[in-house]
Amino acid sequence: MERHVVTVGGLRVGAGPAVVIGGRVSLREHRGPAAETLRERATLVEPSAAADLPVIAARAEAVVVGAAWTRDVPLVRAAAGLGLPVVVERRPAASLEEWLGLADYCAAECGDQVILCERGRLDLGLLRAARAASGRPVLVDVSADVGLSAAAVAAGADGLVLDRSLTTGPPVSGPDAAASRAGEEETAARTDEETALRAAEEAVTLVGALLRPETPATLPECREAIDRVDAALATLLERRAALAGTVQRLKPVGGFAGRDPGRERDLVARMASRAPELGAERLAPVMNAVIEAGLHLAEDRARR
């Protein structure tokens, strides 16, 4: 099936690497005039009512058909008719057929610029089925638990979504105290958002490099893909070095004197079965360098 690609805020969703989209805003959750909430341009915005749509059209990159109101047909039709890409969230307990049917309905209104989005209690199996059956890009909103980012990318998500925090804390007495509390909460929220964003980007980079096929068409795209593979490789090498250090402490004879040529040959042979084009002859010096680097690191640590 032909894959659909939808561009949102300069990001191509559905082709190439998985993406991270931060800044999802729900006007249903943050009451007040849309113009005041959306002072700056936002990537994904969920309306509260039809009155929000003109502001969304002017200040958003895409409109979200929220999971809670997918049966509000007039609002769905109006949102899909804005001329923006439409992100269709799955209603809780909605079947695959219902979800894809709503996406097709929106596609008829917006020129087929539709992205599916799984949110809330995630069903990653259904996500995979939706992606395979429709050819449409699929996002996963990991705002509730960014720890699921890696699982979402491994399941085939074309991108991860994170909410933008617009909340304020409980009221406090006095203007100075209120300003101080608001500043502290804003700083804490920003820190949380940055931490979540880094975790999501790490999942996209590392898991995507291992599991997501890419066919870069330009030199910059190819270099970016190589950078992602190198990032995953560096992470694995660091982990391997740590495990090698543990082995040195457990072996009766550690360090360079404790090397096991037979085991190392078997290791290279197993790797060659996974990388047949490189083969054992090319992999042997690579693994020798990796092993020696780990041994040198273990020696350095022992001297500290």
148 and 100 share a domain?
Answer: yes
pLDDT of the residue at 187? 56
pLDDT of the residue at 126? 97
10 and 43 share a domain?
Answer: yes
The total of other beta-carbon atoms located within 10 Å of residue 118's CB is 24
**Angle, alpha carbons 216-221-44 (nearest 5°):** 100
Residue 206 lies in a domain: no
Instruction: Return the H-helix or E-strand segment holding 227.
Output: helix 219-250
Q: What is the rounded CA–CA span in Å between residue 118 and residue 256?
A: 51
pLDDT of the residue at 174? 42
Helices 219-250 and 175-211: crossing angle, nearest 10°?
Answer: 90
181 and 230 share a domain?
Answer: no
The structure's pTM equals: 0.86
CA atoms within 13 A on the CB side of 278: 15
Residue 202 lies in a domain: no
pLDDT of the residue at 169? 34
CATH number at residue 31: 3.20.20.70
129 and 243 share a domain?
Answer: no
169 and 69 share a domain?
Answer: yes
247 and 135 share a domain?
Answer: no
Q: What is the DSSP string of 287-298?
A: HHHHHHHHHHHH
DSSP tag of 69: G
The total of structural domains in the chain comes to: 2
pLDDT of the residue at 15? 87
Beta bridge partners of 26: 46
Containing structural domain, residue 269: 219-303
228 and 163 share a domain?
Answer: no
pLDDT less than 70: residues of the chain = 165-190
17 and 149 share a domain?
Answer: yes
Residue 276 lies in a domain: yes
pLDDT of the residue at 186? 54
pLDDT of the residue at 301? 87
pLDDT of the residue at 189? 57
240 and 284 share a domain?
Answer: yes
Please choose, from the candidates 200, 196, 172, the residue with its C-alpha nearest in 3D space to the C-alpha of residue 184: 172
186 and 228 share a domain?
Answer: no
